[in-house]
Chain A
Amino acid sequence: MSRSQSLFAIPDFSVSPRIDQAGAEERASRFTKRSIKKESKLNGLKLVLNMIDLTTLEGKDTEGKVKQLCYKAMHPHDAVPDIPTVAAICVYPSMVKVAKKALGDAGIKVASVATAFPSGQAPKDIKIRDTKYAVSEGADEVDMVISRGKFHAGEYNFVFDEIAAIKEACGDARLKVILETGELGTFDKVRRASDIAMYAGADFIKTSTGKIQPAATMPVTLVMLEAIRDFYYKTGRMVGMKPAGGISKSKLALHYLVMVKEVLGEDWLTNEWFRFGASSLANDVLMQIVKEKTGVYQAANYFSVD
C-alpha cells in the first residue's frame, strides 16, 4: 500500500480546505430530523449492531472480562433469533491473543489499539514495535493514534511519515488512524489531520480514543466524512470511518447512518467501511430491537451486563 501512494500526488496539507463551522453544525443537525420507523428502523438497528467495535480499553481489563466481551460479541442476545453479531472486538495488544482464541472462527475481527495509546507520546521505534506485537498476536485491525503535539507544532511531515511507517508495520492488518478530534481544537485541523492520515495510507479514520471529552460528535464526523468523499473523488480509493466515544443511544447511531448515506452513499453502509467504537451502545440497540419486535419498552436488567 505504501508504495502505491506514489501513484497520487501528496498535497500541501497546510492548504487543506477550511471548514465553515456554523455550516457543518447546521448540516449535521439536519440529519437528526429524519424519521425512521418500523421495518426500516429494525433494519437500521441491526445494521448498527453489525457495525459496532465492542470495546474495552481499561487498565483494569482482565482475561475474564475480554472473554466475556467476546461471548457477548458472538451472542448479543440469544433470546431473540436472527440478531447479527458485532463487527469486531477492540482491546489492548496484551489481550489480542485472548480475544482471538475466544472468538475462534466466528468471523468477528479483533482490533487492537497500538502506538502508545491513548497519548501517543512515545518514540517512533517503540510505536512500531507496539504495532508489530499486536499484529503478531493476531490482530486483524490496528487502531493507532497520531502525534497531536507534533501536529499542533506544524510538523505535518513527521505525522505523515509516522502513519506511513505504522501502515507498513501493519502488514495485512487494516489500519485505523485516531485523530483524537477533542484535542485538535478546530474543524480546520480535523480536516487537515484527516487528509494527512488518508494520504499516508489509513484504511479508516477514527475520531477519538474515548479517553478525551468531547469524543465523537456529529459535526466532527461530518467534516471527516467529507474529507473521505473528497479523497475518494481525487484518488478513487475508499477509506472507512469510525466515530468512537459518546455514542450510546440507538437513535443517535441511526442519525449517523443517515449522515453516512447522504454524504458517502450506500457503498459505505457496511461494516467494512463504517464502524461505531462503543461499549454501551450494543445494549441500547438490543433493547430497541426487542421493543420493535414485542411493542413493549424494555428494562436494562433483562440484558447482559457489560
Chain B
Amino acid sequence: MEKTIKKSSLSISEDGLEKKTSSKRLEVLKTYKIYIGGQFPRTESGRYYQPVNVSGKKMGNVCLSSRKDFRDAVVAARGAFSGWSGRAAFNRGQILYRMAEMLEGRKAQFIEELIQQDSTKTKAEKEVNLAIDRLIYYSGWCDKFQQLFSAVNPVSSSHFNFSVPEPTGVVAIIAPQGDSLLGLVSLIAPVIAGGNTCVVLASETKPLCAVTFAEVLNSSDLPGGVVNILTGKPKELNEWFVTHMDVNATLYCENDSAIQSMMREKSALNLKRIFFYDTVNWDKTKGQSPYFIMDTQEIKTTWHPVENIAGAGGGY
C-alpha cells in the first residue's frame, strides 16, 4: 500500500519537474573572464560589454579590460619570462603539444562558439582543426629552429664566434578581429615556442573562443603568466601596447595606417620591435613558418677566446 502511494507521488512530481525544465528553465550563461598570471580575474575597471552576432543575439557579458589590466598582465608576463625562457626547448615543445591535446578534447565547445560568432559548421570545424594542427606544428619547431638560425662565424682572431637566437622578452599581441581562434593561436604559438611570454588582446567582436582557449591553456601544463589574455577594445588599448617600457615587441594585425604609424612612432620609446601581420592569411600554409618564431627572437653573438688554434695547425 505504502509502496504504491510513494510510486504514484514520485511519478507526479517527476512529471511536474519535466514540465518545468522544458518550459521555464533559465539557461546558465558563462561569465567570460580575463586570464592574467594563471588566474581568471574580472577586469579591475568593473566594465563589461556585450558583443552581438549578426542575428542580433547577445553573446554574453565580456570584460572591457582597462590599461591597468594590461599593466597587471605585463607584470605577470615579465615574472614568468625567466622561468619559461629557461626551460629546455624540448619541454616547451611538450607543453605546446599538450595544449593541442587539450584543445582537441574540447573541440565541440569551440565549434559551437565559432558558430555563435557567425561561422558555419563546416568552416568552424576547419578552423578548430587548423588551430590544433598549428599548435602541433610549432610544438615541433620548439627545439629545432635554433639549429637552423644559429651560426658559427669565421673570424680572424683567436675566438670561437657563434650566434644564437634568444627570446626577446614580453610580447604584446593584438589578435586579428577575424579568425577569432585560428588567428589567436597562430600568433601566440610562435611567440611562446621561442621562449617569450605574451599579453594578448582578443578580437573585440568575437572574444568567446579566446576566453575558452585560456581555459585550455590553464589545464595544459603551461605555467601561469606565459600567456595572458585580455578582452576589450583595441581602440582603448592600442597605445598602451606600444608605449609600455617593459614590453619588448608588439604584433598588430589590422590594416589601419593611422594606427600603424602611431605604433611605429611610440615603439621608438624603448626601441621595441613591431610587426604588422595585416596581409597574412592564417588559414593558408603561409600562415605558419619558423620565420614567425624568428620575428620575436634576438640574435646573441658570443666571442669566446680560444688558444691560437690556427697557429697550432688546426681549425676550430
Contact = CB atoms under 8 A, between A and B. Distances in A.
B121 to A, nearest CB: 43
Contact of B243 (A296, A300, A302): A296
A300 B247 CA distance: 11
B198 to A, nearest CB: 16
Contacts of B246: 297-300
Nearest to A295: B243
Most buried by A among B240, B244, B246, B269: B246
Q: How large is the interface on A (under 10, 10 to 19, 20 to 34, 35 or more residues)?
A: under 10
A183 to B, nearest CB: 30
Most buried by A among B74, B240, B245, B269: B245
Nearest to B244: A297
Interface in A260-306: 296-300, 302
Contacts of A296: 243-245, 269
B270 A297 contact: no
B273 interface: no
Interface residues of B, number: 10
B201 to A, nearest CB: 16
Nearest to B243: A296
Contact of B240 (A297, A298, A302): A297
A168 B74 CA distance: 51
B269 A297 contact: no
Contacts of A297: 71, 74, 240, 243-246
Interface string B229-270: 000000000001001111000000000000000000000011
A299 B247 CA distance: 8
A267 to B, nearest CB: 34
B165 to A, nearest CB: 20
Contacts of A299: 78, 244-246, 270
A37 B196 CA distance: 34
Nearest to B240: A297
Contacts of B74: 297
Contacts of B78: 299-300
Interface in B266-282: 269-270
Interface string A211-242: 00000000000000000000000000000000
Interface in B14-72: 71
Nearest to B68: A297
B256 to A, nearest CB: 22
Interface string A128-158: 0000000000000000000000000000000
Nearest to A297: B244
B83 to A, nearest CB: 16
A299 B270 CA distance: 10
Interface in B191-245: 240, 243-245
A297 B270 CA distance: 11
Nearest to A300: B246
Contacts of B71: 297
Contacts of B240: 297
Nearest to A298: B245
Contacts of A298: 245-246
Contacts of B243: 296-297
Nearest to A290: B245
Contacts of B270: 299
Most buried by B among A298, A299, A302: A299
A297 B241 CA distance: 10
A299 B74 CA distance: 10
Contacts of A302: 245
Nearest to A302: B245
A300 B269 CA distance: 15
A296 B240 CA distance: 8
A296 B67 CA distance: 11
Nearest to B269: A296
Contacts of B244: 296-297, 299
A251 to B, nearest CB: 11
A297 B243 CA distance: 7
A135 to B, nearest CB: 42
Nearest to B70: A297
Nearest to A301: B246
21 contacts: A296-B243, A296-B244, A296-B245, A296-B269, A297-B71, A297-B74, A297-B240, A297-B243, A297-B244, A297-B245, A297-B246, A298-B245, A298-B246, A299-B78, A299-B244, A299-B245, A299-B246, A299-B270, A300-B78, A300-B246, A302-B245
Interface of A: 296-300, 302
The 7 closest A-B pairs by CB, nearest first: A299-B246, A299-B245, A297-B244, A296-B243, A298-B245, A297-B71, A296-B245
Given A299-B246, A300-B78, 13 more contacts: A296-B243, A296-B244, A296-B245, A296-B269, A297-B71, A297-B74, A297-B243, A297-B246, A298-B246, A299-B78, A299-B244, A299-B270, A300-B246
Interface of B: 71, 74, 78, 240, 243-246, 269-270
